[in-house]
């Protein structure tokens, strides 16, 4: 059997993606050599120390052996179990890695290598296969049915092939920098979420429910994705015209039972004592931390420059206001997904939900943008330019964290490589769609040509000829405007990053550049939120959801 060249390229791309992760791990990690709290690297190590040395009923409690003020465990049980497994391996390799109360801030080349391997293994075993599986299994989902195609121009193919989409998804620098540079295990929960999305898209709702429960029980921030899952799965249980209500109830019962069993299995050790259950829940939702931490690119942080929310409202009040605003922002997308269901709406709905939570919810971190990044990555082969623009802005929004972790060199190298890969693949894909690979079919050449054609006004013709020529080439002209906006936006990003690196901030405003970056990113995210809501609403209700309607005869 002959293997296509793009398939070989995809295999090579996966190997390159692994190499990029390995090389990034050679750079500093968060809090390296910075006592007394160090950083997220130390937090992950400390959780291994706690789970290995203390009984399970002490993991989430403040005791003489477990100081919750020092990186206390504040993630769901699945994270704790993962820490326990890694901790056992650490203890086997070198007991000093996890010695109780004696290993705080432990740093050595041997330990760093061990920690880096733990991330690389779960990335390789969970996240990378999840990305590959999604693009392979959902390729047919985005093809329009004959009933939806009204004109010849609507017979569009997917702009970027599945193989090339996989490469770009795995090259995204944000995941690499945060997990393999800064140091976290985001690839675990996000991989579970991608599996859940994949199974839902191929109508395997029970498996989708199980994997989303796993994602939610690894990191509670998966609540960002919860409403689309809940509403779409509920919509599949609502009887359609011509269907039996009992069948819908059976579906709902199966999904509900699946969720209950999955949660029960994960939480079982903490359900024997109601106080243990309450303590875990208390640790998962720390209201006392405030509406946001550091300078995050959401609405509350941007508006805080004008009106100091933390000074004028209690944390409890802000929690209520944030919840109301967030649910209001998600309402249009959620209502559309439930009332006009179509599986092709699901990923845009995830984008809209996660962006609404990031922009308006309580207790948001800069790294939380990764929850919006994942569905954008999964939609990038459908809306390439907009999605890749979003992905670059998401990287930019985390730049202050990158500077803090001394990962600027890795950031520049990975981002440059990623942008180059995007450009090459977009140009190649455009040439492939027009059955030609010649330079004359490049986007930039087309844009140059449309301007030249528009400016060729014959003698005796009015200036309206310029407008008429532009209208005749309006699709390419639209691309020209879109690219101009994107390039202008990215130039702004580069300028702000250079200012932060070169210029010393005023003494009275030490956070001026992180704040400018956050506000600039926030404006973009609000624009993307509006755009993807429009994208979702443009997708019609699925044909299979209305085909059972019986028309009454006269």
Give the mean pLDDT of 268-289. 91
- What does each C-alpha distance from 397 to 8, 297, 500, 521 come to in angstroms? 34, 6, 13, 6
* pLDDT mean across residues, the chain: 88
Percent pLDDT > 70 in the chain is 86
546 Cβ partners below 8 Å, 6+ apart?
240, 241
Determine the pLDDT at residue 437: 42
Q: Give the DSSP H/E element, type plus range, for residue 494.
A: helix 474-502
Task: Taking residues 412-428, report their average pLDDT.
Answer: 94
Q: What is the pLDDT of residue 483?
A: 84
pLDDT on residue 248: 87
Q: What count of residues does the chain have?
A: 554
pLDDT digits (tens, 9 = 90+) for 206-241: 999 999 999 999 999 999 999 999 999 999 998 877
392-419 pLDDT, tens digit per residue, is 999 999 999 999 999 999 999 999 999 9
Task: Quick: pLDDT tens for 313-324.
Answer: 888 999 999 999
Number of alpha carbons in the 13 Å side-chain half-sphere of residue 517: 29
Residue 2, pLDDT score: 52
pLDDT computed for residue 359 by the predictor = 96
The pLDDT of 61-88, averaged and rounded, is: 95
Mean pLDDT to the nearest integer, 276-300: 87
Q: Which residue has the higher pLDDT, 150 or 360?
A: 360
Least confident of 54-58, 370-374, 544-548: 544-548
Residue 438, pLDDT above cutoff 80: no
At 140, the pLDDT band (50, 70, 90 cuts) reads confident
* Mean pLDDT in residue range 310-337: 93
Distance CA(164)–CA(162), nearest Å, equals 6
Contacts of 197 (CB under 8 A, 6+ apart): 134, 208, 346, 347, 350, 375, 378
pLDDT at 150: 52
Say if residue 526's pLDDT is above 60. yes
In this prediction, residues 347-351 reach a mean pLDDT of 98
pLDDT at 100 over 60: yes
- Work out the pLDDT band at 293, boundaries 50, 70, 90: confident
pLDDT of residue 244: 79
pLDDT at 12 over 50: yes
Least confident range of 191-195, 248-252, 435-439, 488-492: 435-439
- CB-CB neighbours of 511 under 10 Å: 12
Per-residue pLDDT band for 256 (boundaries 50, 70, 90) equals very high
pLDDT value of residue 266? 97
Residue 157's nearest CA partner among 434, 526, 494, 536 is 434
Whose CA is closest to 511, among 390, 404, 361?
404
* Alpha carbon distance 516, 536 (integer Å): 30
pLDDT, greater one: 117 or 551 = 117
pLDDT band at 547 (very low <50, low <70, confident <90, very high): very low
């Amino acid at each position: 059997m002959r293997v296509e060249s793009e398939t070989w390229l995809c295999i090579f791309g996966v190997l390159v993606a692994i190499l990029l992760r390995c090389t990034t791990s050679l750079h500093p990690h968060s809090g390296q050599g910075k006592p007394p709290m160090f950083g997220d690297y130390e937090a992950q190590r400390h959780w291994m120390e706690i789970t290995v040395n203390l009984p399970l009923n002490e993991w989430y409690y403040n005791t003489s052996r477990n100081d919750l003020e020092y990186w206390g465990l504040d993630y769901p049980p699945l994270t704790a179990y993962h820490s326990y497994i890694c901790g056992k391996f650490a203890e086997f390799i070198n007991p000093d890695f996890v010695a109780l109360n004696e290993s705080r801030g432990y740093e050595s080349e041997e330990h760093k290598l061990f920690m880096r391997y733990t991330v690389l293994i779960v990335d390789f075993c969970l996240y990378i296969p999840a990305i590959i599986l999604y693009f392979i299994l959902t390729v047919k989902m985005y093809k329009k049915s004959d009933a939806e195609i009204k004109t010849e121009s609507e017979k569009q193919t997917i702009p970027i092939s599945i193989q090339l989409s996989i490469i770009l998804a795995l090259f995204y620098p944000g995941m690499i920098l945060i997990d393999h540079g800064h140091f976290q295990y985001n690839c675990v929960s996000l991989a579970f979420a991608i599996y859940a999305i994949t199974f839902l898209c191929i109508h395997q709702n029970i498996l989708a429910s199980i994997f989303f429960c796993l994602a939610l029980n690894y990191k509670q921030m998966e609540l960002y994705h919860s409403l689309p899952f809940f509403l779409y799965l509920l919509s599949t249980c609502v009887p359609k015209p011509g269907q039996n209500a009992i069948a819908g109830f059976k579906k709902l019962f199966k999904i509900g039972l699946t969720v209950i069993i999955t949660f029960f299995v994960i939480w079982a050790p903490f359900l024997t004592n109601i106080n243990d259950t309450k303590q875990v829940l208390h640790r998962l939702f720390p209201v006392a931390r405030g509406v946001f931490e550091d300078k995050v690119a959401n609405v509350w942080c941007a508006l805080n420059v004008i009106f100091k929310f933390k000074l004028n409202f209690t944390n409890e009040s802000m929690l209520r206001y944030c919840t109301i605003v967030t649910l209001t922002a998600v309402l249009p997308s959620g209502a559309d997904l439930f009332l006009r269901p179509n599986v092709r709406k699901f990923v845009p709905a995830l984008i809209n939900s996660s962006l609404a939570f990031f922009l308006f919810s309580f207790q948001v971190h800069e790294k939380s943008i990764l929850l919006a990044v994942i569905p954008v990555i999964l939609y990038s082969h459908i809306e390439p330019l907009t999605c890749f623009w979003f992905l670059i802005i998401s990287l930019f929004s985390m730049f202050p964290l990158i500077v803090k972790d001394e990962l600027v060199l890795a950031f520049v190298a990975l981002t440059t490589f990623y942008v180059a890969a995007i450009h090459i693949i977009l140009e190649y894909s455009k040439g492939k769609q027009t059955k030609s690979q010649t330079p004359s079919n490049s986007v930039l050449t087309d844009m140059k040509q449309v301007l030249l054609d528009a400016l060729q006004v014959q003698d005796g013709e009015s200036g309206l000829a310029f407008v008429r020529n532009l209208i005749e080439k309006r699709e390419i002209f639209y691309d020209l405007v879109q690219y101009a906006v994107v390039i202008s936006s990215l130039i702004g990003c580069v300028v702000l990053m250079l200012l932060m690196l070169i210029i010393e901030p005023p003494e009275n405003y030490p956070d001026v550049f992180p704040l400018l970056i956050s506000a600039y990113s926030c404006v973009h995210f609000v624009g993307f939120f509006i755009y993807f809501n429009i994208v979702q609403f443009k997708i019609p209700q699925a044909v299979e959801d209305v085909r059972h309607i019986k028309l009454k005869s006269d």
